[in-house]
Structure 1
């Protein structure tokens, strides 16, 4: 996993201005634009346990406090605990007429929790063994349970009173007794309404006593400076934070904790509100119902090699382009100042249609107006801080990439498409991949000792076939989309 720490040498510019690699962006087929993590909203589809893979509804997750009731994690190393079986001798009382000295022992099967990593067991913490493997392990009581429950009940009462007041403002009945019957109010409020004195005892019990800050601190034990400290018997800070209600100091007082639940989430476009990534509902499945990652729709660009870079001198740069779609595409490299307006055409070449501005607006054409839909939240465009400090000579020809064919990866016969490529531009081709050669000239103001990388930028225009049928366009469409790229190709090596 060392590649995760490497910098992103090829970055795509999102519509919000963020620079991300192709592995961290999505492509919205309805907006025909790329979306980064800031341009999508996260939604929770389901909750599941990572150990037993059990799906739980949201209502049950709240009751269980986002924890699995069957799986536990080790309090020392936080790995999943497994249930082990053991045998303990069980004494059998002698029958009538037998000598009391002849006591028989029979083995009894018991179960306990064990960690296969750090060898911690529930017997080390003094937890009694269970006769059933399904559970029944004793729960560690929170010493502040009564205080927490009192605060929760008190705030529930406050929330209900605020809700009643807001509902009372919306609808005011003429008869006062109708108001008492319609809204759920406490007995103290009814007594006050009919004129009876309220009970002071009930008011004092409803409101919990406020917390009082104290400046007194418990004194340290007298043997803290004389007794040697055994680090293996003292809990670490991470172990204590896993049990915030108790925060035990000794290792033998640690108790197993329930395994926290995980969520399967989906990503949705903030503009058109269509799903970009939606996993399967089954927690054991690794498949996706919808997977609109950019590397499935946008051509991928990789840096193959580059000659040593010197200020003011031309160097050869080899780039590899890959077509991930099932349709043939053509790629054209343009300067950075090229307008980013896409061009729309119909797949049927007998009829050419001009650019449809309504198709490329933020609203998707296949969504009917509805009051249920939320207002689109668009991420503000961020300024691009990276600056290109090298000139690139762009070729006049377009690069044609065939459709993706999985069987072509194992074909050693070579290219069978017979494209009329310029050998000065396209130097290698196989399947849906091709390598082109560009000439890069770094600016002369770049110095060798300042460790400033050489960055080039260009606009990649590619042909995308949109197979989504809408009310306006029932046939597949061809879109000439554009995306900005910034490539970090290396550092200055010095003048020759």
Structure 2
């Protein structure tokens, strides 16, 4: 059987309504929702250099303009610069006892760019200390930054004065101490200590003065032939916005940008769905709730030639990635509303038919809480409910929904290498399940392309996959608690190929 490896062929519908392959989705085990990269909160955990693996805090990275102080990249091809050693003559050639000395310089192994091409002097040690190019507008930029900081502080001062004039009818309370520090200070008769930074006034900034005398263009600008190998590209100029060199002889090495390790947080319950290790040497994750490890994966095995109005056979492979047995049911798209996704959960029972729905309570942060609670988590974005968008995927074929469901055993890594006979007593319908091994099963579906399609149009079929997810997260303080089972539904769309002409 020929497998279709392309991931974009099988797409799952995210909670927000976007179509994504399963490799680009996350599954929150707390609110039981599928999340993509656009409906999660991105938080930066650490900054590091991917070449020297130097880790630095956020404050230091901000001061260094998010660049590494040791690693340099080539200004021509943007690859890493290597340090090459060379031997030069002694400082005093007339001294008979003088020996040649070793120096180092920067060299690109890709485009052969060298620091000697732009006149950077060679260094004795290879540990850094390369001369930096000064910006002639550095003083002006510093003045503008300081002026904007004073403007921001002045706006804060005016906002605080307006808040003091407003009389609050009700007191604000906190969960830990009851009264806030501001209310306690008012009760005992103390005034709020003024912030010395807010009393500063915005210093007047001298505006830029336009020049009346502009340098004229050279006479040979329209007659001299252009040498493209001596002129920099737009990308090379934008990488050095302070100077924007026009010719290649003014290209200087660029400090490498820092990379970040970021964690992803669910916007509904504020739990992490992905969190890497803090150490830049490690590629592991502390939390790795990818949908690939919780939701059954669907692969297209084979499909018969697609012709308008004629039924075709479709074979799909379902893979169970979890360590628990699950039951998969194929439903029609009309069984799941477009903008509402219902999940039915219950405690673990003896049979799967006894699953009872329970209500989910998302742990979202209300915007009506006191201001003191909101300011305690300034580094985290406040959670809010994302309004799903309508999926605009057009379905071009009808699918015959099977009446029976099928069971997927738990994942067993050792069974992948066991070719001995496997006996399953699942009482599968032979018209539905055609093949199974370990945690995989191949089912057969009948599809009929629509007669409204034109020759060569893409045939897309969709259905709802309902599977039983076993949630092992503790939801109560009871000692003898059992795993929680949930009936999770997700919409799936398959791109089967182009429509063919009628058979002769």
Q: Structure 1 CA distance, aligned partners of 2:259 and 2:273? A: 21
Alignment correspondent of 2:273: 276
**What is the TM-score with the length of structure 1 in the denominator?**
0.85
Q: Which residues of 2 match residues 46-445 of structure 1 at below 5 A?
A: 46-92=46-92, 103-167=96-160, 182=194, 184=196, 207-213=204-210, 217-339=214-336, 340-349=341-350, 355-359=356-360, 361-363=361-363, 371=373, 376-445=383-452
Taking structure 1 as reference, are residues 277 and 417 closer, same or farther at Cα in structure 2, changes over 3 Å only?
Answer: same
Equivalent residue for 1:463, pick from 440, 462, 468: 468
Cα shift at 1:398: 1.4
Return the offset for 1:158.
Answer: 3.1
CA drift at 1:188: 10
Secondary structure in structure 2 of the residue aligned to 1:123: helix
Residues 92 and 104 in structure 1, CA contact (< 8 A), matched pair in contact too? no
Q: Which runs of 5+ in 2 are unaligned?
A: 166-189
Instruction: Give the deviation of 1:347 after TM superposition.
Output: 2.0
1:49, 1:439 → 2: CA distance?
53
Moved more, 225-234 or 266-275: 225-234
SS in 2 for 1:358: coil
C-alpha distance in 2 between matches for 1:358 and 1:84:
66
* TM-score in terms of structure 2 length: 0.83
Q: CA RMSD in A?
A: 3.1
1:38 aligns with 2:31: no
Match of 1:10 in 2: 10
Mind listing any 5+ residue stretches in structure 1 that lack a counterpart? 94-100, 173-177, 190-202
Q: Which residue of 1 aligns with 2:183?
A: none
Aligned residue pairs, count: 460
Are the aligned partners of 2:28 and 2:35 in contact in 1 as well (CA < 8 Å)?
Answer: yes
Q: Name the CA distance, whole Å, in 2 between partners of 1:188 and 1:47.
A: 33
Partner of 2:29: 29
Give yes or no for contact 2:53–2:280 (8 Å, CA) kept in 1.
yes
**Is the alpha carbon distance of 1:350 and 1:422 closer, same or farther for their aligned partners in structure 2, counting shifts above 3 Å?**
closer
The 3 A distance-change label for structure 1 pair 89 and 315 is same
Q: Which has the larger radius of gyration?
A: 1
Q: Determine the C-alpha separation between the residues in 2 that align with 1:170 and 1:388.
A: 56
Which residue matches 1:175? none
Q: Which runs of 4+ in 1 moved over 6 A?
A: 185-189, 350-354
Alignment correspondent of 1:198: none
- 1:493 equivalenced with 2:500 (yes/no): yes
2:89 counterpart SS class: strand
Task: Return closer, same or farther for 1:495/1:217 CA change in 2, 3 Å cut-off.
Answer: farther
User: Relative to structure 1, is the Cα distance of residues 167 and 33 closer, same or farther in structure 2, using a 3 angstrom cutoff?
Assistant: closer
Shift of 1:170: 5.8
Deviation at 1:103, TM superposition (A): 4.2
Deviations 1:266-290, CA, capped at 9 Å, x for gaps: 1110000000011111112111111
Per-residue CA deviations over 1:225-247 (Å, capped at 9, x if unaligned) read 44443322222221111111111
For residues 52 and 222 of structure 1, do their structure 2 counterparts lie closer, same or farther at Cα, with a shift above 3 Å needed?
same
1:212-269 per-position Cα deviation (integer Å, ceiling 9, x unaligned): 3457653221233444433222222211111111111221221101101011111110
Tell me how far apart the structure 2 counterparts of residues 50 and 446 of structure 1 sit (CA, whole Å).
Answer: 50
Alpha carbons 2:272, 2:287 under 8 Å: kept: yes
Q: Determine helix, strand or coil for the equivalent of 1:124.
A: helix
